[in-house]
Amino acid sequence: MQYIGRLDRKIYSCVASDIVTDEVIITDERIQHIRERHPGDYERYYGYLTQIVENPNYILEANKSKSALLLKAFEENGKKYKIILCLKTSTDPDEYKNSIISFQKVEDRRYIRYTNSEKVLYRRE
């Protein structure tokens, strides 16, 4: 398990109102999943995880409750990323944490499609 950073509970309250902790982690199992499904992305872009979680451009509704799809575009390099984040709420066991489920770089067209076709819960102004 690796510590990624802290989320702003006020921003993420658009996903779940009873978020218990602001700590965000990624498990070894999820790292392996990302390496298998999106070869090279984890190693190349790991350094962006904290910035994406702490400062997303968009938080979109995900297909599971207490989960969110985060989008972040970086102006300095023009790259865009997607994270699926599962939030720990008061109904979860004590040992649970806010955790990254998946992470990948996305192309411009897909990034735009997400922002146009998914329900936007939060948009950075």
Q: Where are the domains of the chain?
A: 2-123
Q: What mean pLDDT comes out for the span 85-98?
A: 96
pLDDT value at position 67? Answer: 97
Q: Could you tell me the pTM of the whole model?
A: 0.93
pLDDT value at position 78? Answer: 86
Whether 70 contacts 56, CB under 8 Å: yes
Q: Is the pLDDT of residue 93 over 90?
A: yes
Tell me the three-class secondary structure of 72-110, residue by residue.
Answer: EECCCCCCEEEEEEECCECCCCCCCCEEEEEEEEECHHH
Q: How far is CA 84 from CA 30, 48, 62, 72, 87, in A?
A: 11, 14, 8, 12, 10
- DSSP at 19: B
Q: Is the pLDDT of residue 76 over 90?
A: no
Whether 106 contacts 118, CB under 8 Å: no
